[in-house]
Structures are given as structure tokens and as C-alpha cells.
Amino acid sequence: MKFQLALATTLLLATEGLSRRTCGNNNPPVELIEQAILFEGMTKLKAGSDQADDDLAARAKYVPLHIHNVYVSQTRDQGYITEQDVQNQFKVLNDNFASTGIVFDLVSVSYTENKTWANAGSGSAAELAMKKSLRRGGYDELNIYIRPLRSGLLGYCTFPQANVAPNSDKFFLDGCDVLFSSVPGGSTVPFNEGKTATHEVGHWFGLFHTFQGGCTGGDFVDDTPAQGSATSGCPAGKDTCRGDQYPGVDPIHNYMDYSDDPCMTEFTTGQTTRIYQMWDQYRAPKW
């Protein structure tokens, strides 16, 4: 009987949903915001000219991907995910980024049982130790750590930065951290279709939240309408920035909003252009 009660409690905890999306990337570095403003200006200048950015949006790129599952113990409620879960997450990433021309190539998968690492917070010594041990590839390769996090966040990720020296702490920390139960079929309803990883990887490519800075701020991408606040659920017609200067309703279906997973279905052409602008500036190997 005791065992059954304990089991029931565990299952309850494991299937507990989150009421809203929580991501650790609400404050992009000033330097990256300035770069985004420059890119937006360049795109506007080129629009309609012979050098329009259409060619940027039509590009394609293979990105090597390394997925690390770091768990407390090898059970589904303690952070462990199966190899099939990894494959399902990998497929969702490629499906979601298909319109951008980005294709991920899953080159390594690692499994690590380590309670301290599994629960390490952003910026902690344990996080650095974990990533110094597990990170693979260069600055142009994506590392995703799927783990319990224990911070109330669905995920967080590093934005691209200038002058990241190989084997520096910044280099090792580069990558995305994703809540294990957000993978496809996970227990964090309604954030369990694997789109948390898509959203976080959007940050890795240099995209901001679509509601960044509210109506007067923005993500500095021209074709994502102004948005005053993060979206919860999937409210059709939500329009937080009204008036002639703010055409269009909130981009609630955008991967860079906070909507529920089933609601998120798109990156825009402008975001695709931005991904390649940021890629060339920060992540493309320089030789």
C-alpha cells in the first residue's frame, strides 16, 4: 500500500503541467540588440534592390547537433529520456526549422547520470563543469542538454557572441538547456511536443522573443508584428499593440512567442534572414 501511494505521488509530480512557458532568455545582451538593429536596417535598405536579402532567406545549412541527456537516475521522472525520445526530438527540430533551410545532423548522443549536473542552475559552477566535460564540436555546432533543470524554466540558451575563444568558459557554456519532460510525449503538458527545443535553438541562432521590449521595442525583425506581451495558450486574434503604427495581430503562432506547443507553427521569412545574418556574423567558421 505504501508503495502504491508513493508511486501515485511520483506519477502525479511527473505529469504536472506548467501553466505558462518560461524561458531564461528575456534579456538579450545590449551588443546583440545593437547588431539586430543594424541587420534590420540593412534588410530594409536592400529591400526591392538588386541586393535584396531574398537570397539569404533561400539559403540552406547543415548544423552538426550533439544531444546530451543528463539525469538523476535512469527513470522517466528523474530526467532520463530514451533513445527513441532523442530521435523524436531530433525529428521535431528538423521539421520545425525546415522552412528556414537549416538541417540538423545528429552526430552524437551522450547519456550521463549525475544528480548535481542534472539539476545545475544557469551560471552555476556545476553547469560549467558539466559543459566542460560534455560539450562537443566548434562554435558552429549545436549542443543541447536535456535535463531536469529544477529552476521552473522550460529552457534557456546562449545567444551568439563575438570573439568567443576556443576552450574559454564562454565557449564551453555555449548551447541550449531544455527541460527533459518537454520532449515529444513528455509530461509537461501543454509544452510536450518538443517545441521548447525549437524555441531555445531560435535564441542560439540569435532570434529574440517576438514580444521583446513590448509594442515600442520589438525583435527587430520586420515581418513579426509588434507584440505587447507574451502569449499564454493559443488566443486567436490576440492583438496587444493597436493603432495604425502597429499593423497585424500578435504573432501567436511564432516559435519565438510563449504560446502552447500545439499553437507554435512558424518562423517568418524575416527571422530566416536574421538567422543567416547572425550565422555569418558570429558562428560561421572564420578562415
Q: Which residues bind Zn ion (CB under 5 A)?
A: 23, 25
**Quick one: 72 or 146, whose CB is closer to Zn ion?**
146
Angstrom distances, CA of residue 187 to CA of 77, 202, 258: 9, 23, 18
Name the strands in the sheet holding 155-157, side by side, starting at the edge strand that comes first in the sequence. 102-113, 61-71, 142-147, 176-179, 155-157
**Quick one: 26 or 51, whose CB is closer to Zn ion?**
26
Smallest gap, in angstroms, from Cβ of residue 156 to Zn ion?
7
How far is residue 28 CA from its own chain's centroid? Answer: 13
Which grid cell sits at 11? 506519477
Smallest gap, in angstroms, from Cβ of residue 116 to Zn ion?
25
Smallest gap, in angstroms, from Cβ of residue 3 to Zn ion?
40
Handedness of CA 47, 50, 51, 55 (dihedral sign): positive
* 281 Cβ contact partners less than 8 Å away, ≥ 6 residues apart: 35, 160, 162
200 among known catalytic residues: yes
The single-letter DSSP state of residue 110 is E
Q: Annotated catalytic residue: which of 16, 34, 200, 266?
A: 200
Taking each helix axis from N to C end, the angle separating 195-204 and 83-97, rounded to the nearest 10 degrees, works out to: 60
Percentages helix, strand, coil for the chain, rounded to the nearest 5?
A: 35, 15, 50
Smallest gap, in angstroms, from Cβ of residue 248 to Zn ion?
21
Angstrom distances, CA of residue 157 to CA of 160, 171, 174, 199: 10, 13, 8, 9
CA distance 96 to 225: 20
**Quick one: 72 or 275, whose CB is closer to Zn ion?**
275
**Quick one: 67 or 264, whose CB is closer to Zn ion?**
264
What's the count of helices (H) and strands (E) in the chain, helices before strands? Answer: 9, 5
**Quick one: 22 or 272, whose CB is closer to Zn ion?**
22
Smallest gap, in angstroms, from Cβ of residue 52 to Zn ion?
29
Residues involved in catalysis: 200
